[in-house]
Amino acid sequence: MPEKIQHCLKIIVSGRVQGVYFRAFTQKQALKHAITGYAKNLPDGNVEIVACGSESALQQLIAWCHKGPLLAKVSAVEVLPCPDCSSFSDFSIR
């Protein structure tokens, strides 16, 4: 039986994650797992991801965030609860 409950998380990824296509690869992963939300660069050099989807899809995205694309060097991944994000219809790069 497919999982229908939507969960929403804020994920902060630290390390060398800007200028290495992290947001674009995150978008590809999100689309692959039917996750909505966004990814954006933060002024402190981190990447913020707001992701809404099934629990299993989000766990797969979190696992991917620990590695990132080939040129990234992830040093930390912080996962926080996020308020309802039912307003997202796709996954965008901001």
Q: Is 41 a catalytic residue?
A: yes
Active-site residue (options: 16, 41, 46, 94): 41
Given the residues 16, 23, 46, 94, select the one marked as catalytic. 23
Active site residue 46: no
Burial of 21 (0-12, 13-18, 19+ CB in 10 A): middle
Q: Note the helical H segments in the chain.
A: 22-32, 55-65
Sheet holding 36-41, edge to edge: 73-81, 7-16, 47-53, 36-41, 91-93
- Please list the active-site residues: 23, 41
